[in-house]
Structure 1
């Protein structure tokens, strides 16, 4: 196991180094004339960026002083997103380079043709009564410095070759590199900037109707506000938590389900940031289950903190609401602490005639839910991929990345989450708070 971990770590480091070297080569080395201020500044950025990213990750996971985590988090995590899109944009730019070079070559060739003097035949000149201009001597017609030692005239450049650049003019290759590199940098920066703005402004509300065969008519239209993956931490703090709470309360739900990954840090550091959660309001209360990040942050302390804030933790437990059973299981990461999911404890003795809604952080828990006759599982965890093309990776590890799906008689809804882990940035996977409206199908 240790050998596998070391090999994976070495591969990750190699990919990180090679990716940064490639982007540096295209965006810094190829766009500068030589060792100078511009190249040194660009190189410094490509050295400092990954170092800040790595130290930010280490500081968060090692429980470094919170002020240090906050200092490193913004530049380090934003570089993580920026480096990804610089790489993607630079790779895409490789297809543009040859096209741009050919276009510039054609323009240069056309300009050279226009500048060449028109040759007039000798006979035509005599017919018109004009005398041909005297032919200059060899020494007069050859520019200074173009005569060889033997006195022979240097050959003139062919019409098909581009005219050489004048002193101080950039080469065609340099111009192409600057145009493509500048466009790649602008696209990457714009993508990350817009994706970060989308997270910081807070999640948007998404509404989904889910029919349940066992739901009584009296519960038709029952609304559950699903919020997951808030990820309060050194970047997203109390102000962000307040925006999420305001968004949830504005939907006026009957019940609130917080399905894990609430925090990235200890109660000591993030307790004040979580205080707005005490304002969550619903007729049937707010419930909470752990996600994998709670076990990185002190799950028992956070479960106790949720109780203090008025939320009801469901630790492999179930509560019977007037119209259906609501159950919750711990996250799979809890197995490392002997607190993993226990479906038998949560669902083993329930009345199968009643509809059952299960809160489980990870979508992969759907298979156990099917075996235990759950009607609807509410999950998060995937972030919808968060940073495109991360959705492809998420799809390889999860049965459903986002939205509503069906597995046998059990339906699964996966929220993209309200916040973000690492970079406070989302691309192609906007954050959301989902209102699930239950619909009765029987008369």
Structure 2
């Protein structure tokens, strides 16, 4: 019942959003029966259907070619929809100003000069020629009565303002989404270097380099090429250790096996380690864990730890695993370790920081937030997570959150560039 209510609510919101777009971008700027009116109306119906179909087939057993065919237009339209709506809503406050500006520039009909010479009587009053039908001539008072000053903008003026608003909204949305798409598909993740001082880190480990990767989200949209670029940039940091904080994939092993192959090329002095994210649970976590461990050669830390040369590395499952009886268990993961040694935790969600504090973790590495991915999503993401991105201290535990190397849903990032972070550990 709850799922049905949520589904109906989402469909109602989508319908209202597309009706508003149709009204502002199609009805208000075109004539009934015209080419743009017919084309725009068809798109207003087709695009939301494609967007919904992309989500449905993405979680189904549909063939991969169909998922790709629907994912590209569906996901990009979602991003355009967001920025078209935001821009048009802002322009609602600008439209009255545009109408007043257009009204001031429009010549008043009553100000036009007369075309026939006027006759001057004995009293000095000016009289115009009498109409041929004998009716009285219309004077200034009649003209004013016919066109009162408070009359709404005429149809041509309204059309002009509507077209200016529509073109402006389309340009803003296209440029924003185009730049955001380039950030993901063109430029790719930037490499950041962040120094982190750990009290219990031995002096011999000073300068130890952990390269953190998270939230690649391989999918029908982000494939092998994006994956290879991330691997190349991570390897170029020459890390001592590579930590992958979940959400590698959005799809099954059967669909994404080929796209994930470059991950086998990740190299680090003490190895490559992975903790399960929530999207792995949506995509078959156990199958992916076996594939990552056996086929890609990446060690999966599922509620367990390994003792490295200078500290203990701990990994826990994502809270989404609780539905499958496979949730995070930090107590089990940290059992039987030497508590005098420093500990570094890989946990996909920053929200696990409170558990990390209770267990005396020195440093937690997380992703999940994407830094909001698409502004103003950062506002919602900040409300849902203790840290949106970057390094913060929670008593004796430090938390670092990366924005992630890929993108979920639309391959678009606005105000939240993708990143790979090199954490340079420092000893006191």
Structure 1 residue corresponding to 2:305, chosen from 315, 318, 325: 318
1:151 aligned to 2:130?
A: no
String of CA shifts for 1:32-91, please: whole Å, max 9, x gaps: 122321111111111111100100000011232111101100000111111111100110
Q: Distance in 2 between matches of 1:38 and 1:390?
A: 32
TM-score (norm 2): 0.92
2:10 aligns to what?
12
Q: What does 1:42-121 correspond to in 2, within 5 Å?
A: 42-109=40-107, 115-116=112-113
1:137 and 2:129 are equivalent in the alignment = yes
1:276 to 258, 262, 283: 262
Task: Check whether the contact 1:348–1:372 (CA below 8 A) recurs between aligned residues.
Answer: no
Would you say the 8 A contact 1:89–1:188 is kept in 2?
Answer: yes
- How far off is 1:300 after superposition? 1.4
Q: Does 1:410 align with 2:410?
A: no
Using the TM superposition, give the Cα deviation of residue 6 of structure 1 relative to its aligned residue in structure 2, in angstroms.
2.4
Task: Quickly say closer, same or farther: Cα 1:299–1:153, change in 2 above 3 A.
Answer: same
Match of 1:129 in 2: none
Matches of 1:87 and 1:52, distance apart in 2: 18
Matched residue pairs, number?
Answer: 419
> Which of residues 162, 168, 178 in structure 1 aligns to 2:163?
178
**What is residue 328 of structure 1 aligned with on the other side?**
315
How far has the Cα of 1:252 moved from its partner? 1.1
Could you tell me how far 1:153 is from its partner in structure 2?
3.4
Structure 2 residue aligned with 1:430, among 389, 397, 417?
A: 417
Paired residue secondary structure (2:309): coil
Bigger Rg over Cα: 1
Q: What TM-score comes out, normalization by structure 1 length?
A: 0.89
Partner of 1:253: 239
C-alpha contact (below 8 Å) 1:63/1:265 kept by paired residues: no
Whole-angstrom CA distance in 2 between matches of 1:298 and 1:35: 50
Q: How much has 1:8 moved relative to structure 2?
A: 2.3
Q: 1:394 to 1:63 in 2, by over 3 A?
A: farther
Matches within 5 A, 1:97-246: 97-109=95-107, 115-116=112-113, 137-139=129-131, 151-154=135-138, 157-158=143-144, 171-201=156-186, 202-246=188-232
Pair 1:358 & 2:338 matched: no
Answer with 228-237 or 16-25: which moved more.
16-25
| 1:12-49 deviations in Å (ceiling 9; x for gaps) | 22111111111211111111122321111111111111
**3-state SS, counterpart of residue 243 of structure 1:** helix
Contact 2:118–2:128 (CA<8 Å) still a contact in 1?
no
Structure 2 counterpart SS, 1:417 = coil
Any conservation in 1 of the 2:118–2:127 contact (CA below 8 Å)? no
User: Which residue number in structure 2 is paired with residue 291 of structure 1?
Assistant: 277
Please list every run of 5 or more consecutive structure 1 residues that lacks an aligned counterpart in the other structure: 127-131, 141-146
Tell me which residue corresponds to 1:28. Answer: 26
Q: Distance in 2 between matches of 1:436 and 1:113?
A: 74
Deviation at 1:135, TM superposition (A): 6.7
Residue pair 1:32, 1:38 contacting (<8 A) in 2 also:
yes
Paired residues of 2:119 and 2:128 also in contact (CA < 8 A) = no
- Following the alignment from structure 2 to structure 1, what is the Cα–Cα distance between the partners of residues 282 and 46? 27
C-alpha distance after superposition, 1:72-129 (max 9, x if no partner): 00000111111111100110111110111111111124x7687546999999xx9xxx
Q: What is the distance in 1 between the residues matched to 2:233 and 2:282?
A: 27
Check the 8 A contact 1:256/1:285 in 2, yes or no. Answer: yes
Q: Distance in 1 between matches of 2:270 and 2:30?
A: 64
Q: Provide structure 2 residue ranges, at least 5 long, that are not aligned to the other structure.
A: none
| Structure 1 vs Structure 2 CA RMSD | 2.6
Alpha-carbon distance in 2 for matches of 1:195, 1:116: 55
